[in-house]
Structure formats: structure tokens, C-alpha cells
Amino acid sequence: MYAAITPGLYPLHRCKTLHLVRHAQGVHNVAAEKDPAAYLSEQYFDAQLTPLGWKQVDNLRKHVLETGLSKKVDLVTVSTSLRTMQTAVGVFGGDEYKDGMDVLPLVVANAGESDRPGNSSLNCPPFVAVELCRERLGVHPCDRRRSISEYQSLFHAIDFSLIKSEDDVLWVAGTPEKKEDVVARGMQFLNWLRTRKEKEIAVVSHGGFLYHTLSAFGHDCHPSMKTEICKDFANCELRSVVLVDRSMMGKDPATSNYPGQIPCGLDLPSDVAAEKLSDEGNAN
């Protein structure tokens, strides 16, 4: 029972902070609010953000700048979809890209019919695309991805090297991914994050993927906390959680731990060394 649960205590270097973000409003979200059958339409293949979605991105970007979060994030992991990458670079990317800059643009201007300027890759964390945090696969064309080459032509500074296939071989028409398989994929993704050296990681993904993955957690705490962990994400919502490596899968050493005072020149226990130093001081 949760009433018997005691506070958890873990070594700091076994913990990572994850900043979970659902993509901003996409054109498929608007269409499906009017008619849920719109999710089945090829018209919304790999859906892009709406004008309102871009306003949500700008608001979240302002928040991460004002709170200092933008300076803390070491890595941005993003699902391979247009709307998640648009959200990720808009929130965590650099300032507007100018011609002549000696860096790659993180995203080119007008990517995905956005009517937006490009973002620079200067002064922002690295971005890496990950297939494991994609939306629930199958059935909905909005969740089928483009070729990696198409994405690379738009998002020059996102690292796509972890993607094994040029084309989408995971999404199968008419075959919905089982919920338990989404959870298993989410756990595989979190286990991968545990092996990363970065300590604060932004994850820009999808409502269904985040909901099903987080539903596996919170069983060891107060019901209200489980509700806080597992509730649905709004468009462009950011929620920060701590990931604990209880299996010691990660290999990062502690950076802030300190072994204690070592007596200078004396191979003695500290209390004996202190007494001897005191005696020498009195003799002088």
C-alpha cells in the first residue's frame, strides 16, 4: 500500500532529468477534433504544425529561456516526424539563421510549409533523431514518416545516424501496434537514455507514446502522484521527471562526491592525525 511507502534515496550520478514534450498542435489534430475519421486520411501524412501550433512553440521557447532550462539541457532527442522536429528546433534550437553564418542551420526556412525563418545550430544542445520514441505505429498516415533524406534536406544539424532504414519500415498500414508493444518500446527507449552520458535530456515525442510509456510507472507511490505522472499530455506541454538507474546500467562516475579530508603527510586516521597536529602546534 502507498501509505507504507518511504521516501526514495538514490545516488545523484545514477539519475537523469528528462524534460518530456509532446509536439505542438498539428493539422491532423484540428481535423480530428471535427471528425475522428480524419486520422485515417492520407491528406495528413506526416502532419505539420498549424499556426496555433507555432504560437505554442514560441510560448514554450519563452518559458525554457526564462526558467534557464535552455542552458541546462545537454541533449534533445526527437521522434522522426515533421511535427516533432518542428517543435524541437523551435523550442530548443538556436536563434534565427542568417546567411553567412559559419554553422549549419538547424532547420531551413519554411520547412514543412511553415512560413518560418530557419534556426541556427549555434549555442544550442545537439539534436538526435530516434525511432524508438515514435507515435503508436500503424493505421494513421499522420504517424508514417518520410524518408530520412527528405528530413535531412530540411533539418541539417539533426543527427539521423541512429536511423537504420532510409524509408519507413516500421509503420504497417492496417496493423495497429499493440499497447503493450508501445510500452515495451518506451522502456527500451528509456533504457537507452540511461546509457547516455548526458544528465538533462529533452524528449520531444507524441501524446500516445508518452502516455503508454508513462503508464508503466507510478505504481510504487501515492495514487495522486501516479495520476500526475500518467495523465495525458496537452499539445506542447513540457513535463520534467527524474529517471533513476537502479540497475546500474549507466557507467558515469560520480562527479560531485568527495572522499573526505585526507590528512596532509600523515598516513593516520583523521582523529589521530588531528591530535598529532594539535600537539605539534602546542610545542611550537
What cell numbers appear for 187 in the block? 522502456
Catalytic residue among 19, 23, 28, 212: 23
Catalytic residue among 28, 131, 135, 140: 135
Confirm whether 150 is a catalytic residue: no
In the beta sheet, which residues pair with residue 20?
A: 203, 239
Centre a 10 Å sphere on the Cβ of residue 53 and count the other Cβ atoms it contains: 25
Closest CA to 202 of 237, 151, 161, 252: 237
Strands (E), 90-212: 105-107, 119-120, 127-130, 158-159, 200-205
What cell numbers appear for 253 in the block? 562516475
Confirm whether 19 is a catalytic residue: no
The contacts of residue 265 (CB under 8 Å, 6+ apart) are none
CA distance 175 to 59: 36
Catalytic residues: 23, 135
